[in-house]
Amino acid sequence: MATEFGKNLTVTTTPIPGLIVLDLPVHGDARGWFKENWQRQKMTAPGIDLPDFGPVQNNISFNDAVGTTRGIHAEPWDKYVSVATGRIFGAWVDLREGDTFGAVYTTEIDPSRAIFVPRGVGNSYQTLEPDTAYTYLVNDHWSPTATYTFLNLADETAAIDWPIPLDTVEISEKDKNHPRLADVTPMGPRKILVTGANGQLGRALREEFGDHPWVEYTTRDTLDLTSPDLPAARRWRDYGTIINAAAYTKVDTAETPEGRSHAWAANVTAVAALARIATANDITLVHISSDYVFDGTKHGAYTPEDPLSPLGVYGQTKAAGDAIVSTVPHHYILRTSWVIGDGNNFVRTMATLAERGINPRVVNDQTGRLTFTTDIATTTRTLLDTRAPHGTYNITSDGEPQTWYDIARDVYHLTGHDPDRVTGVTTDEYFTDATGPIAPRPRNSILELAATRDAGIPLGDGRRRLKDYLTS
């Protein structure tokens, strides 16, 4: 170990994505040596960039004989491996689904080195010195219901060049009987959970993410987000992303006593439960926000940084949900306006009225842009795939802002009807004859899109997107 004293903390990447080797500073003298085996602040800092993987358990495997060989085991959690005393030859094989399935990396590990092993990468080692203590931190607790993947130590495809021949060393019968690479079922990615899967956005997300074993779509009937049993409803460590497309959106009914209760339950209580689960299990939480978190009095477009100032109950619950989600370490808040998708919505209503020969009165003093659910779904996929910086993103169509009246006229025109059949009225005039509670609406719902464009999010012109929507 003397020759290893005084090294700087450095990292080496490997052919296996996410598998990172660390050279650790070791300080010693005639009395022995000392090292910081795991130091979160230093090791997650820029330049080292080890994932802040949140270990919850520390394990030690003591091996008294040279040649003890263990593996190849891939678990559904991350692992930080080091050696307390002795020396090992380590071999790691990528057993995750993807292009690098079967990739191999080998190296020696002594007390001055460590290696970060991401979820799904097979881990194995052979002791090169007696009395070797192999230590590892993991970010989940062992569970008999977890999904594990194994590979035979002698697999001919991996062709690991073991320093000591396998037929001369101590190997467990279980490890001897693991499958060859051709028979291994690759470990899939951490799961994606989509809530509100039957809504307009939920259907667009299903179209975007597809049907795969690692994507789960839930509705209120299959997963109650307000249940006190939610933390135990899933093995949450198996999930990497929750896309919360569930919400209470009846803005006028939310002003009634019963509606207010339902709105707070769906938009705040349920969101708080998801936020706690996401934080505790290192899950990325994607949350859909609304222009209703603003009062609409600003001159100019609202930025993601503008302070929230909701008017009615619905806006208040959405603002509370946003505040909660912002505390989750890995989160995306997608702030939208005037959402249009597969289902009942303003555009479909106008198209139906035009076809039926009805001449509608439409509000002309609320200004904003349409947001198409397909664009929200695409944006969600892009943010996750590119691992964009966490935070709030405004997501609407691009182009000149319009009033509801302008959009109604466009719908009539695009469907072959006379747009002059649409009459513009103020919000107050529109609701003159209303018999129930009416939620206050923000007059200005324009969201600033510059930061979203800078993040590489594709945003289409609103009028072109409307034409595509009506002809699809």
Catalytically active residues, by annotation = 73, 136
Non-local (6+) Cβ contacts of 16 within 8 A are 92, 93, 94, 100, 103, 104, 105, 121
Torsion of CA 82, 84, 89, 94, to 10 degrees: -20
Distance CA 126, CA 440 (A): 69
Q: Are 58 and 20 in contact (CB under 8 A)?
A: no
Closest by CA to 1, choosing from 142, 112, 129, 150, is 112
Distance CA 154, CA 165 (A): 10
Within 13 Å of residue 234, how many CA atoms lie on the same side as its CB?
A: 21
276 to each of 74, 282, 470, how far by Cα in Å? 28, 10, 40
Strand-strand pairing, 104-109 and 32-35? unpaired
Q: Are 14 and 20 in contact (CB under 8 A)?
A: yes
Distance CA 190, CA 215 (A): 9
25 φ, ψ (degrees, to nearest 5): -65, 130
- What token pair was written down for 28? 């010693």
The structure tokens 């194994």 sit at 150
**Residue 446: cis peptide before it, omega within 30 degrees of 0:** no
Strand-strand pairing, 191-195 and 239-244? parallel
Q: Are 235 and 211 in contact (CB under 8 A)?
A: no
Query: Which residues on adjacent β-strands are paired with residue 290?
Result: 336
Over 241-309, what HEC string results? EEEECCCCCCCCHHHCHHHHHHHHHHHHHHHHHHHHHHHHCCCEEEEEEEHHHCCCCCCCCECCCCCCC
Distance CA 416, CA 119 (A): 55
